[in-house]
């Protein structure tokens, strides 16, 4: 039962019996010096003199106000025992003659437990109290800050080893080759100063420039089509120069032929924006500011073409009404945001090309506004393309092409560049640079701007889509999409539109028997050396009828480029028809004629179409030979590949391959018809079997020249593979060409080529974590990875192909996809550890160390939580309609419209195969938490040593003999001073500084508090000092894991200060977002230990921490900004608990400081403790 002394505080300040059956005299507390002695030796019995001196410690303290918050501080197992006084840390107080009740922590040491398993258990029964004294003393050696429990050590080593393996894999394995050539230019920039504050409120922060290439664009007047370049996150306006310089050189040297005469071709006027290297990826308001500024900039740019002082365009041409957009990185998101702004001028944007832009989701989710902006603009684009009628779609004329750099881009995961969930194929597509003809290489985040091969393709594509005779300055949408597919896609996609059925015959081919060869039906055409006949010769392949067994697909592979109409090269491919009656009656004969009859009377005339426009380019050099870009020639050797389905050739009778070489060359041509069953195979295999045993197949002798192997199960971007080709050299005839391999996906369009390779590392950007599903699912979505082989069909040896999983290479794929998880999952571990610390503290009065609590969690709660989260990952998915953003899987319901948030939760994938990711991430994050813990202990120790040295030097100089004689202790400032400091900080947060700055200050103050607490605990060695240090240390770790979420916004604010932009961000001046942290940290600087909560309210602490950990695991990756607010709620609850140890009320708020100071004075004198002599 409780033993309350007469006149004691109403809040229940109690003294706990240190044993059962002792007298009230034995229950008295020893004086401060004896506290250490009593703790160091549990069997020590106080002398009568000592006990007589202890009696004043039980004098009553002033009664608490009736308006104070009341908690029940009695533990369930001690209901029949006198309860203990709330533990406090150490204070430093000047000597005084007054006496106060002395409090001690030795009375509740019986609640502490000896070994790790017992400390993880619930409350003990009273009979166990006395027997645990020796165990508690022994456990104190394991509770030191530097102690490492065995289980924590093993787990940390495993987690860090896995992390190092993953990092090493991302740096050394599955690395794409770097094949970019350096680009050169002679840039100059003209600032448009007239675009000032009269046009936009951001004129003092941002600037608009016009690019001019020196030596070509010497005239400053505008003559061409406007193009606006938007830099990305922390990007420079100067990044426009590679593409702009190439466009100027291409116009001058190719389109105008180096002449100064005026032609119908017009150049491109490149405008660029100086954002002062703003950080847009981390701050939503900055992104909105840029979008607003750019809409006004476009309005101003279009007005320049109407000003005769600036524009020199032809009078008969319409003034431009739209601007082409080039966006890099976050600049592409700014471009899409512009179309949703209120100041957007309708139809002023209809063509957007983005490079390395994260369209699908925000690259980091530390700012709530950036997440909301992504949700808003993506919803806007999806709603627009969901409209049935074009008149209801504001984006009907807009085309969007997203270009990703591939595996070399380590800044933005190329999976995020996908726009399949936003735009239908009629209005845009995603493509990787590794598949763009004449580029064929991956690029990092910056190289995509200056890569010479790539900038040439972009410049030519821009010139092809412009039409100066239209107000929009661009061709119609469908034609623009056809041009973009021609320049950016391989030409072998199933969606590629063939031009052969759409064009009219262009060539009249006249043949006779001596100058032509007709191949037998079904026979392959093989020309090992062009020019063998020294003069032009035609080879005719009969086209089989539809449904015949001779073949369903025509393929041709030629060395070099195919000749177009009128070109004089080595080989030309024509598709011809025999129509004698049409020749006699048709007056509009083709303008071009190829006569190979030499005047013979029995000549045959064929009406033919040229197939060069449908040819796809293949690299002829080995990809590994392009690693040294300095030795690569711009005019590299190419291969041309033609592929037609038999339905596309229905109106033709022959394929004519004309050898036009006039001397012998090493160039070759191989052409054939093949049936589907021979050139295309589907390998059905389970993913588990593929990973365990791999798979292999044979390309037999007599195989088709081009074969395809589809593996539907290979779709995930998290698994990498190794491909090996084994075969004997050709024995009968010399090899015509080395094998060429192409790996490709149909959604998004990703292709990689490997030439003359015996080994290839395969990695794809297919189904990726956290990426929304496609806007309009297609049948080809389940096609998976397809491998396309071009091999010498005349070789008499078989080829063995083996595909195996690259386990170590796959680990590296986790880095980019799950880097944000190192903010979310460590918070789960941290909250579980802190929850266990509070459970033990509230039950037994001992605040165990972080390492001890982590050891307990590793034994029980943490594995259980990870197991439940693993099961949960199969049971729930994200939802747009649910309040909590969660819906449960329904295995038997029909599939509705795609839910674009279905991959937002947990590990971001619905594939049950990756169940192991949750425990794997949990293990790594546990190891990281342990490393951060010991690193923080080391830092606090160093700071404590520095503080002690500085403090002692100051005391000696002042000759403060009393201060030097005092024990190590906290010296709290007055409550009024702390309230004044907090009020000033809160005022600054509400007006000028963001709350993230105040949070950083709070973390630094907490670090110093922890360092002082560690120094006191190390030197004094009392249990109370250790408890307080463990508490401050755990709170510091909790705050440090939230700190990375706040630093990006702080960086944006500091960046704005450097450019003298002082406009505050309204979204980051919420006092409630930081006030609990400030109050909690201020409270801990006084050395006050958190009171124990032992009633019903103690479950709230566990509930807050439990909810924070679970929310961090489920929502943390996609909504990382929520983690700050969740931890803020925990801090607010701890502030409420702390407030119960000091009486206050709104009515007597003015005397709050005085009463707290008086109470702190009494408690500091009671708890002041020095080292034993």
Least confident of 50-64, 607-621, 1024-1038, 1047-1061: 50-64
Residue 1077 lies in a domain: no
Q: Are strands 740-746 and 749-755 parallel, antiparallel or unpaired?
A: antiparallel
CA distances from 645 to 492, 555, 650 (A): 11, 9, 9
Q: How confident is the model at residue 545 (pLDDT cuts 50, 70, 90)?
A: confident
pLDDT range class, residue 728, cuts 50, 70, 90: confident
Q: Rounded to an integer, what distance in angstroms lies between the CA atom of residue 169 and that of residue 1048? A: 28
703 and 789 both lie in a single domain: yes
Whether residue 855 lies inside any domain: the answer is no
Q: Is the pLDDT of residue 404 over 90?
A: yes
pLDDT digits 0-9 by tens, 344-358: 999 999 999 999 999
Specify the range with the lowest mean pLDDT, choosing from 624-628, 706-710, 843-847.
624-628
For residues 260 and 394, membership in a common domain is answered with: yes
For residue range 918-956, list pLDDT tens digits in order: 999 999 999 999 999 999 999 999 988 887 777 666 656
Could you tell me if 463 and 509 lie in one domain?
Answer: no
Decide if pLDDT at 616 tops 90.
yes
Looking at 635, 669, 703, the residue that finishes a domain is 669
Instruction: Read off the pLDDT of residues 890-899 as tens digits, 9 standing for 90 and up.
Output: 444 444 567 7
Q: Which residues contact 367 (CB under 8 A, 6 or more apart)?
A: 282, 283, 284, 1048, 1049, 1121
623 lies in some domain: yes
- Both tokens of 697, joined, read 């197949």
Q: Which residue has the tokens 């082989």?
A: 789
**How is residue 369 written in tokens?**
């506004």
Q: What is the pLDDT of residues 951-966, one digit of tens each?
A: 666 656 555 554 444 4
Q: How far is Cα 1013 from Cα 461, in angstroms, rounded to an integer?
A: 66
pLDDT score at 1169: 38
**Average pLDDT for 255-276:** 77
Beta-carbon contacts of 1004 under 8 Å, excluding residues fewer than 6 positions away, are none
Say what angle helices 1023-1058 and 995-1020 make with each other, to 10 degrees: 150
Res. 562: pLDDT tops 60: yes
| Residue 45 scores a pLDDT above 60 | no
CB 296 within 8 A of CB 290: no
Which of 669, 703, 726 terminates a domain? The answer is 669
Q: Determine the pLDDT at residue 21.
A: 37
What does the buried/exposed string (b/e) look like for 531-547 if buried means 16 or more CB atoms within 10 Å of the residue's CB?
A: beeeebbbbbbbbbeee
* In-domain check, residue 377: yes
Taking residues 7-11, what's their average pLDDT? 39
> For residues 992 and 1012, what is the distance between their CA atoms, to the nearest angstrom?
31
Q: What is the mean pLDDT of the chain?
A: 80
Top pLDDT among 286 and 1173 is at 286
C-alpha 1002/C-alpha 1074 separation (Å) is 9
Q: State the average pLDDT over residues 163-189.
A: 92
Share of the chain above pLDDT 70, in %: 77
Instruction: Tokens for 80, please give them.
Output: 């029949």
Q: What is the CATH number of the domain that holds 741?
A: 2.60.120
Alpha helices in 556-686 (DSSP H): 580-585, 676-679
Any domain includes 149:
no
**Poorest-confidence range of 15-24, 600-609, 902-911?**
15-24
pLDDT score of 440: 93
Task: Provide the pLDDT for residue 899.
Answer: 77
* DSSP state, residue 508: E
Q: What angle do CA 99, 103, 108 make, to 5 degrees?
A: 165
Are 251 and 369 found together in one domain? Answer: yes
Strands (E), 317-427: 323-328, 349-355, 399-404
Q: Is residue 71 predicted with pLDDT exceeding 80?
A: no
d(CA 252, CA 264): 13
On whether both 458 and 506 belong to a single domain, the answer is no
- Judge if 658 and 682 occupy the same domain: no
In the prediction, which pLDDT does 1096 show? 80
pLDDT of residue 177: 86
Q: Among 51-55, 396-400, 1094-1098, which range has the highest average pLDDT?
A: 396-400
Give the least confident one: 76-90, 391-405, 794-808, 1102-1116: 76-90
- pLDDT value of residue 959: 54
| Range with the poorest average pLDDT among 174-178, 821-825, 882-886, 1039-1043 | 882-886
Q: Give the CA distances from residue 179 to residues 268, 412, 444, 489, 1099, in Å, rounded to whole numbers and listed in that order.
A: 28, 20, 11, 19, 60
Mean pLDDT check: name the lowest of 404-413, 843-852, 1149-1158.
1149-1158
Q: Catalytic one among 139, 170, 207, 329? A: 329
According to the 3-state scheme, what is the secondary structure of 399-434?
A: EEEEEECCCCCCCCCHHHHCCCCCCCCCCEEEEEHH
| Any domain includes 634 | yes
Which of 535-549, 683-697, 752-766, 1149-1163 is least confident? 1149-1163
Q: Are 668 and 737 in contact (CB under 8 A)?
A: yes
Q: Looking at the structure, do residues 478 and 508 belong to the same domain, yes or no? A: no
In angstroms, how far is CA 995 from the centroid of its own chain?
Answer: 25
- Sign of the alpha-carbon torsion through 406, 408, 414, 417: negative
Is 556 within a domain? yes
Is residue 439 in some structural domain?
yes
Q: Considering only CA atoms, which of 318, 187, 329, 302 is closest in space to residue 248? A: 187
Query: Does 1171 score more than 70 pLDDT?
Result: no
**Which of 304, 327, 336, 335 shows the shortest CA–CA distance to 226?**
304
Least confidently predicted of 272-281, 607-616, 1091-1100, 1152-1161: 1152-1161
Grouping H, G, I as helix, E, B as strand and the rest as coil, residue 136 is: helix
Question: In this model, does residue 32 exceed pLDDT 80?
Answer: no
Q: Which of 414, 644, 397, 632 is nearest to 541 (CA)?
A: 644
Say yes or no: 557 and 481 in one domain: no
> 235 with 94, same domain?
no
161 classed as catalytic: no
Local confidence band at 1143 (pLDDT 50, 70, 90 cut-offs): very low
Cis preceding-peptide flag for 748 (omega within 30 of 0): yes
Residue in the block written with tokens 């050169």: 184
Provide the number of structural domains found in the chain: 4
Q: How far apart are CA 898 and CA 888, in angstroms?
A: 15
716 has which bridge partners?
Answer: 767
Give the end of a domain, one of 638, 669, 700: 669
Of 1138 and 264, more confident: 1138
**Could you give the percent of the chain with pLDDT greater than 90?**
49
Please, are residues 305 and 222 in contact by the beta-carbon 8 Å criterion? yes
> Is the model's pLDDT at 525 over the cut of 50?
yes
Residue bearing the bigger pLDDT, 1097 or 427: 427
pLDDT digits (tens, 9 = 90+) for 113-162: 344 444 565 443 333 333 343 344 444 444 577 788 999 999 999 999 99
Instruction: Please report the pLDDT score of residue 873 as a whole number.
Output: 82
Tell me which of 589 and 249 has the higher pLDDT.
Answer: 249
Note whether 695 and 811 are same-domain residues. Answer: yes
CB contact at 8 A, 614 and 498:
yes
Is the predicted pLDDT of residue 50 greater than 50, yes or no?
no
Residues 107 and 247 grouped into a single domain: no
Between 304 and 1067, the more confident residue is 304
Pairing of strands 669-674, 553-559: antiparallel
Q: Rounded mean pLDDT of 422-435?
A: 94
- Asked if residue 1145 has pLDDT above 70, the reply is no
| Residue 43 domain boundaries | 24-135
Is 553 found in the same domain as 449? no
What local confidence, expressed as pLDDT, does residue 465 receive? 96
- In whole angstroms, give the CA distance from residue 774 to residue 747: 9
pLDDT at 885: 56
How confident is the model over 1112-1120, as a mean pLDDT? Answer: 92
The span from the CA of 298 to the CA of 271, in Å, is 10
Structure confidence at residue 746 (pLDDT): 87
Helices (H) and strands (E) in the chain, counts: 30, 31
Higher pLDDT: 316 or 958? It is 316
Residue keyed to tokens 């195969």 = 913
61-75, 271-285, 479-493, 983-997: least confidently modelled range: 61-75
Q: Which CATH number is 477's domain given?
A: 3.40.50.1820
């Amino acid at each position: 039962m409780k033993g309350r002394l007469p006149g004691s505080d109403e809040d229940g300040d109690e003294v706990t019996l240190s044993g059962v059956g002792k007298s009230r005299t034995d229950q008295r507390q020893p004086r401060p010096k004896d506290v250490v002695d009593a703790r160091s030796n549990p069997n020590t019995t106080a002398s009568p003199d000592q006990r007589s001196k202890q009696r004043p410690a039980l004098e009553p303290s002033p009664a608490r106000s009736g308006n104070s918050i009341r908690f029940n501080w009695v533990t369930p197992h001690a209901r029949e025992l006198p309860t203990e006084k709330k533990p406090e840390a150490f204070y430093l107080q000047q000597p005084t003659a007054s006496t106060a009740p002395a409090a001690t922590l030795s009375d509740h040491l019986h609640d502490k437990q000896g070994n790790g398993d017992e400390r993880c258990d619930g409350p003990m029964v009273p009979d166990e109290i006395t027997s645990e004294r020796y165990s508690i003393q022994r456990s104190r050696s394991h509770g030191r800050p530097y102690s490492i429990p065995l289980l924590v050590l093993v787990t940390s080593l495993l987690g860090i080893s896995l992390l190092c393996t993953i990092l090493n894999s991302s740096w050394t394995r599955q690395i794409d080759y770097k094949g970019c050539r350096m680009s050169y230019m002679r840039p100059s920039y003209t600032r448009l100063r007239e675009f000032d504050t009269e046009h936009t409120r951001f004129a003092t922060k941002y600037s608009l420039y016009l690019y001019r290439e020196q030596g070509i664009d010497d005239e400053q007047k505008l003559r061409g089509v406007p193009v606006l370049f938007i830099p990305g996150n922390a990007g420079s306006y100067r990044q426009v120069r590679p593409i702009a310089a190439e466009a100027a050189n291409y116009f001058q040297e190719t389109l105008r032929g180096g002449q100064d005469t005026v032609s119908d071709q017009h150049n491109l006027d490149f405008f660029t924006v100086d954002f002062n290297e703003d950080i847009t990826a981390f701050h939503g308001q900055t992104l909105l500011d840029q979008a607003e500024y750019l809409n006004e900039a476009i309005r101003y740019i279009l007005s320049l073409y109407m000003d005769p002082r600036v524009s020199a365009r032809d009078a008969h041409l319409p003034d431009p009404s739209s601007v082409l957009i080039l966006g890099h990185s976050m600049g592409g998101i700014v471009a899409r945001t512009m179309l949703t702004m209120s100041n957007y001028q309708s139809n002023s944007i209809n063509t957007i090309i983005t490079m390395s832009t994260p369209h699908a989701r925000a690259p980091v989710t530390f700012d709530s506004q950036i997440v909301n902006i992504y949700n808003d603009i993506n919803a806007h684009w999806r709603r627009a393309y969901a409209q049935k009628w074009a008149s209801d779609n504001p984006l009907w004329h807009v085309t969007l092409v997203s270009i990703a750099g591939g595996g070399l881009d380590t800044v933005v995961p190329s999976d995020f560049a996908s726009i399949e969930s936003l735009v239908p194929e009629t209005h845009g597509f995603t493509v990787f640079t590794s598949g763009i003809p004449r580029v064929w290489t991956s690029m990092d985040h910056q190289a995509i701007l200056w890569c010479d091969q790539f900038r040439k393709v972009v410049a030519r594509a821009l010139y092809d889509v412009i039409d100066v005779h239209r107000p929009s300055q661009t061709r119609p949408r469908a034609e623009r999409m056809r041009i973009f597919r021609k320049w950016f896609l391989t030409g072998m996609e199933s969606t590629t539109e063939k031009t052969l059925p759409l064009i009219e015959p262009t060539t009249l081919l006249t043949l006779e028997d001596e100058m032509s060869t007709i191949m037998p039906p079904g026979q392959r055409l093989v020309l090992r050396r062009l020019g063998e006949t020294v003069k032009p010769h035609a080879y005719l392949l009969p086209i089989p009828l539809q449904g015949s067994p001779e073949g369903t697909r025509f393929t041709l592979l030629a060395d070099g480029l195919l000749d177009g109409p009128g070109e004089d090269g080595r080989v030309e491919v024509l598709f011809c028809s025999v129509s004698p009656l049409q020749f006699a009656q048709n007056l509009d004969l083709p303008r071009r004629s190829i006569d190979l009859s030499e005047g013979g009377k029995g000549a045959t005339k064929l009406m033919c179409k040229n197939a060069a426009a449908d040819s796809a380019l293949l690299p002829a050099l080995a990809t590994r030979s392009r690693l040294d870009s300095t030795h690569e020639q711009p005019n590299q050797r190419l291969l041309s590949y033609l592929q037609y389905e038999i339905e596309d050739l229905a109106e033709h009778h022959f394929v004519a391959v004309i050898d036009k070489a006039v001397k012998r060359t090493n160039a070759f041509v191989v052409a054939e018809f093949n049936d589907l069953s021979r050139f295309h195979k589907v390998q059905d295999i389970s993913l588990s079997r593929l990973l365990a045993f791999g798979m292999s197949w044979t390309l037999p002798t007599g195989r088709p020249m081009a074969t395809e192997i589809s593996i539907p199960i290979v779709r995930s971007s998290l698994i990498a593979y190794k491909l090996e080709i084994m075969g004997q050299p050709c024995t009968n005839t010399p090899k015509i060409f080395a094998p060429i391999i192409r790996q490709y996906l149909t959604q998004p369009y990703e292709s990689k080529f490997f030439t003359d390779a015996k080994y290839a590392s395969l990695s794809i950007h297919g189904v990726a974590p956290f990426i929304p599903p496609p806007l309009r699912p297609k049948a080809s979505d389940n096609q998976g990875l397809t491998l396309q082989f071009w091999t010498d069909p005349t070789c008499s040896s078989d080829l063995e192909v083996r595909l195996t999983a690259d386990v170590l290479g796959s680990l590296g794929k986790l880095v980019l996809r799950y880097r944000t998880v190192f903010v979310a999952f460590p918070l789960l571990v941290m909250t579980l550890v802190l929850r266990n610390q509070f459970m033990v503290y509230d039950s037994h009065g001992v605040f165990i160390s972080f390492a001890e609590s982590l050891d307990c969690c590793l034994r029980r709660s943490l594995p259980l939580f990870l197991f439940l989260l693993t099961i949960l990952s199969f049971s729930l998915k994200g939802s747009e309609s649910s309040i909590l953003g969660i819906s449960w899987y329904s295995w038997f319901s029909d599939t509705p419209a795609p839910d674009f948030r279905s991959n937002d939760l947990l590990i971001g994938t619905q594939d049950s195969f990756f169940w192991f990711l949750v425990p794997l991430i949990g293990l790594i994050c546990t190891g990281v938490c342990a490393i951060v813990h010991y690193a923080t202990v080391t830092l606090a120790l160093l700071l404590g040593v520095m503080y002690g040295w500085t403090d002692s030097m100051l005391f000696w100089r002042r000759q403060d003999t009393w201060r030097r004689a005092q024990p190590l202790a906290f010296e709290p400032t007055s409550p009024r001073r702390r309230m004044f400091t907090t009020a000033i900080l809160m005022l600054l947060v509400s007006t000028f500084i963001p709350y993230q700055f105040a949070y950083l200050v709070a973390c630094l103050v907490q670090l110093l508090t922890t360092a002082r607490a560690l120094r006191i605990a190390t030197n004094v060695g009392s249990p109370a000092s250790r408890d307080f240090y463990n508490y401050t240390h755990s709170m510091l770790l909790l705050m440090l894991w939230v700190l990375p979420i706040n630093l990006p916004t702080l960086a944006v604010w500091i960046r704005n200060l450097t450019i003298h932009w002082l406009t505050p961000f309204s979204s980051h001046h919420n006092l409630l977002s930081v006030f609990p942290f400030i109050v909690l940290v201020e409270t801990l600087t006084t050395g006050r230990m958190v009171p124990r909560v032992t009633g019903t309210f103690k479950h709230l602490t566990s509930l807050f921490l439990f909810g924070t950990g679970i929310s961090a695991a489920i929502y943390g990756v996609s909504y990382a900004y929520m983690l700050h607010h969740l931890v803020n709620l925990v801090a607010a609850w701890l502030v409420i608990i702390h407030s119960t140890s000091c009486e206050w009320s709104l009515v007597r708020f003015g005397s709050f400081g005085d009463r707290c100071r008086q109470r702190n004075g009494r408690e500091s004198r009671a708890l002041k403790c020095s080292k034993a002599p």
